[in-house]
Amino acid sequence: MMWMKLAFGGFGRRFVEAIAAAIVLAVTSATVASSLMVVEGARRALNQAVRQDRPDIVQVKSRFNRALFETPRSGNLPPLTIPVYEPLIDRAELQAAVGSNQVVKRQSLFRNVVSGDSFLNIYVFGIDPDLEHEVSSFSIARGRFLSRDDHAAAVLDQASARALGLDIGGAFPIRKADGEDMQLTIVGILDKLELRAAPPRSAEAPSLNPESTFVSSGAFVNIRTSEQVFGRPTLTDALVVAGSGSNVPDLVTQLQEAFRLEPGIFVAERYSQYQRKVRDFVLTLTLFSAVSVVTVLLAGSFASNLLHDIYVDRRRQYATLMALGFSPAKAIAPAVAFGLVLGIAAAVIGGLVAGLLMPRSFAMPSLMADLGPTEPTIDWLVAASIMVISIAAAAVGLASTAVRLVGQPLATTLSEENS
């Protein structure tokens, strides 16, 4: 009880100063926490951009043609528009252009699968199973994924499998370019699929994500099988994975040079956009770090100054304790306890204010034009930062008093007058 009174009792008018110091520290904490939350949100947005945009990937795609009549050489299929990329990309030319960079080859097809007296539109993707896994995401619900050695094997998404009424081990016919049917055996069923740089969806087909404007379903076969169906080795699209992001501009130049005479082939990269996002992040980091540092330096030092006044006012009390036989550490303990309680309370209140009142979405047009709105996020680093700042402010306020108490003779301290 005595220690409580020593730490928190008898402030008199200085109590108002203590409250002012606590509020200044709390608002400082809230400002710093909010700034760090924005920075943290921007950092997460940038990381998400790295994961989602994959700036190291360059897409090479043929002209998208959604209005070609499919005219099978035999059979009784009605004419239909086939929304796919045209197969214009020559593999050897592509490989020569990209050098040692990895190429994820694709053949995208669109076919009618005839069953009984009805038919179903289905997207067919010829992929390199091992490499495609590194850029796209496939979640196998049943069975297994494709392998390079498979022949006439397919992995279907759940929606397409359901529409076809098939499961693992079942087979469905796909019309080949020569007019013959090829039976594809289902070896796996997908329940989730994120195909990187999927073609736009503009024809009715079973879909895992009906809201998506991009194809989110289909039958996946290895590229050897798709070549047999397509009847040609040329690719419809391909993803080139650059060794590092900085290689992308050179790689794009090489690809544009290689395909300069083919107007139907386009090279798309996300690296430039990613670079703009990085610049946005740097600007955000700079601005809000500056806000934090300036706030800490000015408001934090002001709070320290207020606390300093309080400690100076009580210096004789601490000196009296030392004169009564308390060790310097014990004599100064009430001051430390007071500073800690005040600092921690301010940090907690400031953190709560920032956490509860900070808007869920933060956008600044000239700062985050490419990064877009971010979601301010509080994490342990933000919490630790405001705690350290508040405690440091209290410690700085106490420093001069502590040094005086330890460094100068007790008699001198006891003979000092209060402010």
Q: Do 365 and 35 form a contact (C-beta atoms < 8 A)?
A: no
35 or 59: whose CB is closer to another protein?
Answer: 35
| Contacting residues toward another protein, per CB under 8 A | 13-14, 16-17, 20-21, 23-24, 27-28, 30-31, 34, 38, 65-69, 78-81, 202, 213, 291, 294-295, 298-299, 301-303, 305-306, 309, 357-359, 361-367, 373, 376, 419
69 or 380: whose CB is closer to another protein?
Answer: 69
- 237-241 vs 102-115, strand pairing mode: antiparallel
Give me the least distance between CB of 373 and another protein, in Å please.
Answer: 7
- 153-157 vs 219-222, strand pairing mode: antiparallel
As given in the structure block, the two tokens for residue 14 are 């200085």
Give me the least distance between CB of 346 and another protein, in Å please.
Answer: 11
Give me the least distance between CB of 418 and another protein, in Å please.
Answer: 10
Residues near 97 by beta carbon (within 8 Å), at least 6 away in sequence: 254, 255, 257, 258, 259
As given in the structure block, the two tokens for residue 197 are 């740089």
78 or 407: whose CB is closer to another protein?
Answer: 78
Give me the least distance between CB of 156 and another protein, in Å please.
Answer: 24
User: Measuring CA to CA, which residue among 345, 355, 350 is closest to residue 376?
Assistant: 355
Distance of CA 171 to the CA centre of its chain: 40
Give me the least distance between CB of 419 and another protein, in Å please.
Answer: 7
Q: Do 171 and 185 form a contact (C-beta atoms < 8 A)?
A: yes
Phi, psi of 197 (to 5 degrees): 55, 50
Residue 94 CB-half CA count within 13 A: 27
85 or 271: whose CB is closer to another protein?
Answer: 85
DSSP secondary structure string for all residues of 263-278? TTEEEEESHHHHHHHH
93 or 370: whose CB is closer to another protein?
Answer: 370
Give me the least distance between CB of 246 and another protein, in Å please.
Answer: 28
Give me the least distance between CB of 409 and another protein, in Å please.
Answer: 27
227 or 309: whose CB is closer to another protein?
Answer: 309
The beta strands (E) that lie in 144-296 are given as 153-157, 171-175, 181-194, 219-222, 237-241, 265-269
Q: Do 86 and 65 form a contact (C-beta atoms < 8 A)?
A: yes
324 or 356: whose CB is closer to another protein?
Answer: 356
